[in-house]
Chains A and B, each alone.
Chain A
Amino acid sequence: MKKLPFLIIFTVAVLLFEGPIPGYTAATWQWLSSLKGQPSGQSMLMPSALYCDRTLERYYVVDAGNNRLLSFNKDGEFLNEFNANGQLQAPFDMVKDCEGHIWVIEKGRNSLTMIDLENKAVENHSLSFNGQTVFPERLEQVDDILYVLDKATGQVLALGMDLKVIRNFACRDGTGFVDFKVRNGFLWAMERDGNMVCFTMDGKPASSIVMEDVVRFPYSLEVGPSGIFYVLDRHGGEVAVFDPEGRFRYRFLTPGQARGRLYFPIELKFDPWGRLCVVEEGNGRVEIFKR
């Protein structure tokens, strides 16, 4: 009979301290809101990227299929749409620089396009590195440096505001990266098989992390403040979470079209307010989740 209290304490302790069981969907993240194109009068068609403006507290969504950019406030309310007078051709990713210029990757003309809203000017720029044309795929901007993932070579190029390549972040074996993020003072790049390479900002590889092979088709990554990796599974329609050593911890979200489900998700991003945003190409929306 004396054993009973011990058993109860033991059970409670196990339940409290046990982490999420690998493979189980952990209800850590809950759906908060969706960014949709309908309020603009047109659904989004294959949105491809999200940019968050901390200062203005705005979201910008690249609505690739409709050749436009949409803006939303922090609460997810639609604000405006912009298509540079119909000049955008297959926009794919965007950032805003310190001077308020919008930089857009336009796949249709293979250009890193600068939009100066104040002067109503649009400049197209073809990039090259080592005598080869660069095919920009993903874009980040930190401290007046543009970081561009070149789809042709799979390396990340750091560009000054004059668009000259300052340095490159390349995979040692030449296999290349499918996505990258600049987080916590490092550049984190994901290889096609989901493994991560961490670079110092001067382009030197700092570490490589072999991730447990549980993701069907790794497509986008995020890195939490404590070094936890979030990997978006495009074909599996879910997000897999790994510890800093690459050990699989748990997965969440499921494939489908209903609210909170994923269909051909394309980008994963933390917003400045700690919410996890998933850009869904298939469902034409951005799903926002909070803890």
Chain B
Amino acid sequence: MMSKLMWLSLLLIVVLCVGQAVTGFAETTCFQCHKRADFRGKVVHQPVAEDRCSACHSPHVAHFKGLLQKSGASFCYGCHKEQAAIFAQGIVHQPVRQGQCLTCHDVHASEANGLLKGRLAESCFACHKNLPSKFKHTHKPYAKGNCRACHWPHQSGNMQLLKSKPDELCLSCHKSDTVRQVHRNFPRGVSDCLSCHNPHGSDRKAMVRNVLHKPYKKGCAECHGQGKIGTETCLRCHETIKKEVLTLHSHLLEQEGCSCTACHSPHAGDTSSLLKGSQKQICRSCHKDTFNNYQDKLYIHTEPFDCKECHAVHGSSHLAMLKDGGNKTCSRCHETQGKFTHPIGEKVIDPRSGQIVTCVSCHNPMGTDFRYNLGLSGTKDLCIQCHRTY
């Protein structure tokens, strides 16, 4: 009788242990109220699987929602220390930069690897809404929703979070011999693929970008074979741009070859401007510091966020390559402030510098830590810069 009792006890212990291993959960006080099912999934966050709710939550009181001990990415980086170091380098994906891990990840459990919220592409398209789900001719990895075939999700040393430089990335799948065969008349080695091809897809075969440069339509000899190609080659036809370039600040780009092709494709593009990417991507490729600064600030100029709205992208004789001076550029949208505001204009002189007072004397549209994009606190600090006797 005694030996049977011992066997039964042992059996019970074994069953309980196996059960715990299978479910990944153990009975805790927490699960008396919180449904266990809500914390189950194909992939379970390690502390949850180990039944360590208190690794993140305080059972009694906390400063943060969800009885969390801390908030934001710094909490995650408490365990994911390696990632914290890596994610501070190179070009960082905006949600990562802003510490919003939960934009893409679930915290407890998920059906997707990496605790992703749903399928990878679903997470990507939730923010990248401008990208069409498919094209007439769609790149296979894109069609499969495998964004990670080309992009890193957190950070990268390359633009657009690419896994490597664009040409290297293309040639890692498209073998160079095959590519050479279909580009027989290409005068140089296979290079600058994105100059003609849209890596996601297009209406044209071989994902050639939708809009072709007029001379390219006519034939290569329109530009090639007439001596060295440089900025002047483009300016021969684009005379209005030449006027914009002959200003105090231009985007002639201190580089060998043609300055224009730093931003524009000479062959094909997705829009009539033949830009090599979106406006923001193009600007960001050189002005990383401006974008990083912009993203880090509490108060930013949100709508519309298109650099071209305010800046003359080819050249300007105004400060910061603005389209007009510091007043006209702003008052095109901020009409009321253009008519009724703190005195501005040619008759109002900034005592700090002796310059004309403009909107940007007080505001910084590229982002600040003060309301209304003010350079300093508008309650006092900013005003006493000039009004010292008050």
Contacts and interface: CB of A to CB of B under 8 A. Distances in A.
Contacts, number: 116
B351 to A, nearest CB: 9
B319 to A, nearest CB: 6
Contact of B319 (A174, A256, A281, A285): A281
B361 A257 contact: yes
B246 A177 contact: no
The main secondary structure of chain B at its interface with chain A is loop
A132 B228 contact: yes
B293 A216 contact: yes
A192 interface: yes
> Which 3 A-B residue pairings sit nearest by Cβ, starting from the closest?
A154-B254, A174-B256, A176-B254
B232 A133 contact: yes
Contacts of A92: 248
Interface in B331-359: 349-350, 352-356
Given A107-B246, A107-B248, A152-B252, A235 B290 contact: yes
A110 interface: yes
12 contacts: A46-B248, A48-B248, A92-B248, A107-B246, A110-B246, A130-B228, A151-B252, A152-B252, A171-B256, A174-B256, A258-B385, A284-B353
Contacts of B290: 217, 235
B256 A153 contact: yes
A150 to B, nearest CB: 8
B330 to A, nearest CB: 16
Interface in A239-291: 256-259, 263-264, 281-285
A284 B350 CA distance: 11
Interface of A: 36-38, 43, 46, 48, 64-65, 90, 92, 107-110, 130-133, 135, 137, 149, 151-155, 170-171, 174-178, 192, 216-217, 235-236, 256-259, 263-264, 281-285
B318 to A, nearest CB: 8
The main secondary structure of chain A at its interface with chain B is loop
B232 A132 contact: yes
Interface in B283-315: 286-287, 289-290, 293
A110 B290 CA distance: 29
Contacts of B349: 43
Nearest to B326: A282
Contacts of B210: none
Given A92-B248, A131-B227, A192-B286, A283 B355 contact: yes
Nearest to A263: B353
A244 B226 CA distance: 44
Given A151-B254, A152-B259, 8 more contacts: A43-B349, A48-B248, A107-B250, A130-B228, A174-B257, A257-B350, A259-B352, A281-B319
Contact of A257 (B317, B319, B385): B385
Contacts of A285: 353-354
Contact of A282 (B253, B255, B319, B385): B319
